[in-house]
Amino acid sequence: MDAAAAAKRRRAGSLLPEVTSKRGRSSQNSRAKPDNESLHTSSEWDESAQVASKREIALFRNSLKQNVCVRMLQEGNHRSFSELFYLLQAERDRRAAAEPSSALSSELRPLLEEQREKLETVRLHMCEAEQAERTGSWPAMCEHRLFLGQFFSAPEDQLLSLHFFHSCADREQGRSSRPATEARACMAELYLQQGELEEARQQAELCIRQAEDGGWLDLSGRPLRLRARQTLWRIYDQLAVAPMDAANYSEALELLHKGYSMATESDDKQIEGEAAHRLGLAYQRTGDHNTAKKFFNTYMQICVTMNDAGGIGKAYKAMAKSMESEGNMEETIRCLEELVHITRINGLLHNLADACLLLGNIYCTTVRAKHINIYSHYIRALEFFIQGYEVSCETGDVSLQQKAQVLVARARAQSLLGTYGADVVSASPGALRRLLVWKNTRETLGAQSRLHRAES
């Protein structure tokens, strides 16, 4: 049995080719006796493969936050690591303390540590800022922090934006540099947007002082001193709202005058015109119509130079209101007729409808104020009310249409009553015939109405 098995193995082995080539022999020898060089190369390859695998495994197993923080520490940026860790933890604490219905607690909004692009951007620029700080390159450090403040422009990232703006502008070193000055301008705008007016005012005023000394431009090429003045005008305008509503007119006017001064120094005619208009409205509210008209005239002249039809219309409307308050109805009508003309030729349909209704009301007011029977004014008022109604139909403004319908009906009734009264006073043959027709028509309409009620 053993002999047969051995013979079988020999027959099977004879079927395999014998490897006798030089290449084969050398290959066998190399496997049998590897030299030192091949052993050294193989061990290096194995070690590098093992190190790479560890890194890949760490990147796969660890969280994005952990990988970013570890990398910052490995690069020696310990300050940046501490700051980033604080920001991430603060965001988690705010999320935990937020009301369930607030935007911060929404599960749809990811945390910063879960957003790869944002987290990598923060890591890069914070580390660059730390390196610049070590070498005393303060403007470069501020540039990186200014970039991060502007990078977080979304409404939900405003706290991060403010953090980086403050870290750029409030440090002892570099606080008078161009990026630090621009950071103050950005903070003033952001605080204004949040309604923190005093903080916005402080930052804007600091920005103006620093920009005046340095003559800085922002990244878009706009002078920072002008940008800060434009923001400061808006801040003063908002600050004046509360005292104006409380009838504290002296404080409100003082703030508005400061805002107007900033606007005139901003090299922006549109802002200057808006500031003049706001001051005019404030003086109009106090009853000082002469001063109000001066500012309205200033606003109108600026709008004319800028070819701003909407602004010109606002100026005429405000001017007409002051003239009406003074009892100057002829000038009021002239202003409103000019307003109708300007809005019509410029296709400002909503403004045109409003102007027509205003002018119709003025014609009716003129009759009531003077206690005279100028029924042609009622007819004129009816014409403008009808125009206002037709234009409101084009705009699709339902509330304006309903208002115009009421005014048309009232003016038509007043004009008919005026015609009836004039015919009664006249007693001429033509007047008597019109009165008879009116009487017969009224009786017919009354009979139809009674029949309709009886049937119903």
- According to the model, what pLDDT value does residue 377 have? 73
Query: Which of the residue ranges 27-31, 39-43, 406-410, 426-430 would you say has the lowest mean pLDDT?
Result: 27-31
- What pTM was computed for the model? 0.74
Please compute the mean of the pLDDT values over residues 55-78 and round it to a whole number: 78
Distance of CA 51 to the CA centre of its chain: 51
- According to the model, what pLDDT value does residue 176 have? 84
Q: Which two tokens stand for residue 278?
A: 């706001």
Question: Which one is predicted more confidently, 78 or 103?
Answer: 78
- Domains in the chain: boundaries: 348-456
Model confidence band, residue 285 (pLDDT cutoffs 50, 70, 90): very high
Please compute the mean of the pLDDT values over residues 132-142 and round it to a whole number: 93
Q: Which two tokens stand for residue 177?
A: 């540099």
Q: How many C-alpha atoms does 429 have within 13 Å on its Cβ side?
A: 0
The helix/strand/coil state of 170 is coil
Q: Which two tokens stand for residue 59?
A: 């990147």
d(CA 88, CA 312): 52
Model confidence band, residue 194 (pLDDT cutoffs 50, 70, 90): very high
Average pLDDT, the chain: 81
| Residue 345 neighbours by CB distance under 10 Å | 10
- According to the model, what pLDDT value does residue 12 have? 46
Question: Which one is predicted more confidently, 428 or 418?
Answer: 428
- According to the model, what pLDDT value does residue 379 have? 80
Model confidence band, residue 31 (pLDDT cutoffs 50, 70, 90): very low
Cβ 324 vs Cβ 339: under 8 Å: no
- According to the model, what pLDDT value does residue 28 have? 41
Please compute the mean of the pLDDT values over residues 278-282 and round it to a whole number: 96
Q: C-alpha distances in angstroms, 184 versus 87, 88, 191, 346?
A: 21, 24, 10, 41
Instruction: Residue 318: name the closest of 273, 277, 288 by CA.
Output: 277
Please compute the mean of the pLDDT values over residues 301-314 and round it to a whole number: 92
Residue 428 predicted with pLDDT over 70: yes
Q: C-alpha distances in angstroms, 221 versus 233, 331, 389, 405?
A: 21, 46, 48, 53
